[in-house]
Structure 1
Amino acid sequence: MKRWMLLFLVVVSLALPQASSAAEQQCFEQTGFCIEGRFLQYWQKNGGLQVFGYPLGIAQDVYNQDSQQSFLTQQFERARFELHPEFAAPYDVLIGRLGDDLLRYRNIDSSMLPLETGSKAGCLWFETTGHNVCNQANGIGFMSYWQNHGLNDPKLDNFGRSLQLFGYPLTEPAMETNANGDRVLTQHFERARFEWHPNQPDQFKVLLGLVGKESQKLVYGEGSNPSHLTQLDSRVFFTANDGVHGQELWVSDGSNQGTRLVKDISPTGSANPYKLTAAAGQLFFVVSAGNSEQLWVTNGTEAGTTMVYSLSRPAADEPAIVDLAPVASGVIVMGYTTEFGIEPWFSNGSNAGTALIRDINPGAAGSEIKVSTCCSYYFATEFTPMGSSLAFMAKTGNAGNQIWLSDGTTQNTRQISTFEQNNELVTELERLNNDQIIAAVQQPDMVQIVKIELATGKHSQLTSHGRFHVGTRLIVSAYDLTNVAGKVYYSVSNSDQRTNLWQIEAKTGTSANQVDLAGYQIKRLITNPIYSQMYQQLRNSDGSEAGVWAWDGTNLQQRSSLDFQQLAYNGQHLFGLIGTNSPYRLYANAATNQNLGYIGSGMHHLGNSPSFAQVNRFSSNQGIFLALPDLAHGLELWYSDGNTLRMVKDIRP
């Protein structure tokens, strides 16, 4: 009998993990790491090897992205332990959301997945996440495993114990390939992944995925940081860093193979092109070159990317090229020279075709309007297309700030306003029709809305809105002049901190009237100058968000209740991006008369650099190009057609 007992003990010892024990410590030859102290107690009391697996490293301080703090952390094959001494046991040890982390790494936003309609017979229903957990065969499966394992806390019932250990289900069961290459039925939970292995003995038919081991191997992409997205025909031009050439100019037609570096302008570093401007079938941009700024042009090919003209800076921290704006045959450049200061130039993309248009403010002073703020300044250029020409603001010698019109030629560049000398700063311009332009004229105590006749320069006041102080800041009360289908709309802020919508009729152009928005306030106008549809982001009367609404000139119709951080309308779809942190979620409507629906998400790995979470503005054609992050690739170029979302190319693998 003793012999058989001895044999039994030997067999059992072979099946157990090879471990050595000391006081408050257990070490494992299988991985070469130990568990000790509070982590060891938690590991032993709540499932041990079957639930958590072997330790994969030592306990050390690790930064937690969600709380943005560091905690003593130890990684296991199936879990990650965090020590939180601020909580009473057993909650002083918290298990990381590795199940959700691995979904996020695959760019799956679990909270946006389709929900089940309700409970299924014989299953465990989780209304919180909208998923069932069921057994797979003969009382064995995910449900029974979830129910029979839990946190060792006598104050909780069985459900509460299991919930603390595994968390809620995040997905429905589906066939997936696990880390070992096996195709198995899988269901994801907040802190675990359940796998069904029907060919194993009953006690091993449900196995926990090695989420800790897999998460330890994740590589987070650095990203190419696509910036300055600018549409030209069906292509988008942008700057990006592929890790080899620095931040240079790229172009994409929306396909992987059609996304490429245009030219390595600065082989020894980064050219960092900026002020990308599409005009006359070409892309113009600016490159800084020490004490000068260079105007460049490209047709999208390396050979067709050339430096056009160079202008010297007035000082080390001052721009030589203030702004670019397209006209029919090229660009107007607000550029600096010692002789003339900052004045309008024209370029058709060649050195010979680049020249000063006119010295509007005679002498070296320049015609730029430089507006000082509390801490800095900005240039009030405000280019507004008027047919084949541009209207813009300029300091005009003794005449003060006036509005000018130019098609890029000297003979067709002229002053079109007749404001009194040394008076107004024109803060905004908007085309009313081919013969008239609307201007918001800033006075010390009011903003005047005026109509200007291009032929004669005659201007007439349509209305005015009083200015007011918020603290020491004097508010510009009327802004965002926007022409939609022959009507000019604009926002007006009042001293009671309410923002209303006003409208100017194009047919008469004789007055401005407040639009009745049924008690809502304006937050933002979303328009596209090519199309007649207008959307509005609104607030309720108490200042809370009221979502996005369509406006047909008479009626409001809500398209989404969400508060979007970015919105873009391309004539076919309205796109909305929500989120100031991970995840970013993209929504769109299938047509202008439909509500916005969820399209996809982008996940961001903050680490210690939350500033990296900036998402670029939209650039649209049939759909939109946008710079969006995911964990595996970092910030890269993406595209949406309004129905799907996909990464165009991993530019920096």
Structure 2
Amino acid sequence: GYAGALYFTADDGVNGRELWTSDGTSGGTTMVADINASGGIGSPSLFVSNGRLWFAADDGVNGLEPWSSDGTLAGTQPLLDLQVGASGSTPSDFRPAGALTLFAADDGIEGRELWATDGTALGTNPVLDIQPGAASSSPNGMTSIGSLVFFAADDGVNGRELWVSDGTTTGTSIVTDLNPGPAEAFDPFGVLEFGVIGSDLYFQGTDGVSGLEVWKSDGSMAGTIQVSDIRQGTNDAMITEFAILGAEVYFPARDGDVQTLWRSNGTDAGTTMVSEIVPGGDAKVGSLITVGGSIFFQADDGTTGAELWKSDGTAGGTFRVADINPGTAGSSPRMLGALGSSLVFAADDGTTGQELWISDGTAAGTVRVMDINPGPTGSSPLSGLVHGTEVYFPANDGTSGFELWKTDGTAAGTGRVKDLNPGGGFGFINGEFASFAGEVYFAGDDGTGAELWKTDGTDPGTILVKDIAPGGFSGSQPEQFTPAGGVLYFFANDGVNGQELWRSDGTGPGTSLVANVGPGSLGVGGFLDSKLVEAGGLLFFPANDGVSGRELWKSDGTAPGTVLVKDIAPAAEWAFNSFTLVVNSANGVVYFAAEDGTLGVEPWMSDGTEAGTVMLGDVSAGEFDSDPGTAGFVFAGANVFFTATDKDVGEELRAVTVPEPGLAISLGFGVWFVAGLARKKSRTRSVG
């Protein structure tokens, strides 16, 4: 809320995505300003700072630049064209620092750095070129405490570390080089999260000695301390997420062989295990979510299997909510999200199959919402999308096939959105959907092939966005829906150009091909799958342009901005073996498997530049392939896990922990140090 009203971005189908306001009534819901005839808002994120709303917008002339509003048409104005021309500075993370508002932006000269404004053009200036020259320090995670703003940045010398600023050059500095040298203090594979309790900032970081642990900072070097070394030595505590309850933070962590729920009040003595759910063992705690005064999570006590648990922060108050599937099998709950004070999830009670459930945190209040497909088969609502006050999910009622459903948590409010393909045909195709511009987008098939559809939750409001491949039996098969910069991106095949990158603003005329990378009907992938990921405001995917072979590409959403990142295997037909990309959204890095024509198929990483696209390590020495990622690349704590092969141990599980490109990689039975391109290795710890 702002100024007693709700402000949000929306697309009314006429003006594109713009700034809107509502007082809760139909008559009081209006567009604040039409910044651009085709939609001016570049991001749904709105920030309140120093009495104004701040956001990134494109007026159609200057690209994405900083704007602010007082909630009126006259008071909605651009701040300054920081990057002159149509490219835009792509500002983000507006946060107050006293009377100033700080944000990150790229002026096209000094890279993406920290800026400050007093709300006027004359009072808008770069705070500090943290990484001098055209390179970017890429400040992110900006969090206000009092008159200071904390953030992560890379000065090019100390790696990505914790910084603090009051909006002035002299008042902007690195808090401490937590992980000395060029190594990073933050998990390069995780999402950067800061928590605030009182006047302290909490985060997960490493000093290079204790692994990833909980730290707190008051903005000074002396006041930046490790809260507790939960897992002694260099082994990580494997903290993957945070949830705040009252004045404490909760998280899953591992201490030796014991993995369970922990909490911290910011002191070493106050950082304790909540409950040892499995004495001496792994409780598989995960999927933490705060609902009311409790933390809900999934855990396996070794007796009942994976079931729904909750905790009030005490050992006595940590218990299994319900044994949904009696016995040792477990119901394997999948958290779909909170609706009000209740948790919506999917579970299998062993009788009706996988169905939709809801819980208020009590055994009596944990009930199946509806037996959508009567009998033991289940409707299999295994994926879900929380959209407003409802959850959307695919389900099979045993009659209509897999179609799109929604629920408000009640049986009466649970129903099929639309029977797209009557007669038992599958109307919901590949299990992918996305929330974009106030509606839900998905691949639907009305019997004439899979195309791009959207819905407002009603039967009449469930419509075809565009018939990209008209007349075909299979349709354009849209997939990999990825919202970025106020646009929905996806892969589709129009029957002429093959599978290529497309974009949509939610209208038929606004749905178009971004670029025809692959010649003719080959497309970016030909007969092979392509994966689309967003990192650092760019889209990454493997593609074959018919010249360089299958290589890593990136796109800014325009044809000229869709380019080859690096020709990893010059003159080779293929550079990729695995086509699963794993994005580090915090630092804008992608991870993939590639072959350079000399060292075989090995793990690689890229920041979107040719120089920043490097091999992590030669797992299978020489020209032999290690074939990493045949089972995919997956996140887990501080690592990216994948399978890879070498001649000594065969195909085994590998884990990568890389603070900087080319510095550290887990290979097989230990973590190995890779010295630049020399591939000099030394074992530092065991992974199992």
Calculate the TM-score normalised by the size of structure 2: 0.45
Larger radius of gyration: 1
Calculate the TM-score normalised by the size of structure 1: 0.47
Per chain length, whose mean CA-contact separation is higher, i.e. which structure has more relative contact order (CA < 8 Å, sep 6+)? 1
